[in-house]
Chain A
Amino acid sequence: QKEVEQDPGPLSVPEGAIVSLNCTYSNSAFQYFMWYRQYSRKGPELLMYTYSSGNKEDGRFTAQVDKSSKYISLFIRDSQPSDSATYLCAMIVAGKSTFGDGTTLTVKP
């Protein structure tokens, strides 16, 4: 079993929709929880990080962590075609990142 499981895609939504991306994990020692965005044929780009349970908001993006359930989510409000990308969750323990396989999102105009 993988340490980090990410909801498989692909996910296709109309412009303006609210998007929910989710990951579960098994290692309770994970310290940081991140979301990366990866455009096609590019490297991942850090979107958000958090280290505690609860919500963290940044513009149209909200990261949510529930440590008791070992579950993290990324919500995108008012989704735009430019949000079309693969979203990777990642978690850190002892300086080492473990990534999910990614969910590919397409936002249709």
Chain B
Amino acid sequence: DAMVIQNPRYQVTQFGKPVTLSCSQTLNHNVMYWYQQKSSQAPKLLFHYYDKDFNNEADTPDNFQSRRPNTSFCFLDIRSPGLGDAAMYLCATSRERGNYEQYFGPGTRLTVT
């Protein structure tokens, strides 16, 4: 009974070729987050949705976009991946904004060649 599902688990893309990562949740949580985590580093928040309200972090590059077509799904689009975008991308949910408990998916490991 997976709660936060990410697809694919591993993604290889070419330098500059757009890529989309997918997240779905069965928890019916209002908030969905996207984090970038590089090796041996802290997860870095890219943006989050509170319902349909999109909140971008100030230092998130324009190259990263997100869509949330409904409560259950959220997508991360990387328009022109660079070598520096190779990382683990984590999706997380919480019931409400400010709720301490976040549920993470297993992550998508992105490789850029």
Please name all residues of chain B whose beta carbon is closer than 8 Å to the beta carbon of A42 when the two chains form the complex: 106-107
Name the interface residues of A38-95: CB closer than 8 Å to any CB of B. 41-46, 49, 51, 88, 92, 94-95
Question: Pick the contact of B98 from A44, A88, A95, A99 — CB < 8 Å?
Answer: A95
- Assess whether A49 is in contact with B101, with CB atoms less than 8 Å apart: yes
Dominant SS among interface residues on chain B: loop
Q: How far is the CA of A102 from the CA of B40 in the complex (A)?
A: 7
With contact pairs A43-B4, A44-B43, A99-B42 given, residues A92 and B100 touching in the complex (Cβ less than 8 Å)? yes
Contacting residues, chain B, for A41 (C-beta < 8 A) = 88, 106-107, 109
Are B106 and A43 touching (Cβ within 8 A)? yes
**Is A15 interfacial (CB 8 A cutoff)?**
no
Which residues from A are CB-within-8-Å of B42? Answer: 4, 88, 98-102
Known: A41-B107, A95-B97. 19 other contacts (CB 8 A): A34-B100, A41-B109, A42-B107, A43-B104, A43-B106, A45-B104, A46-B101, A46-B102, A46-B103, A51-B100, A88-B43, A95-B98, A97-B102, A99-B43, A101-B41, A101-B42, A102-B40, A102-B42, A104-B40
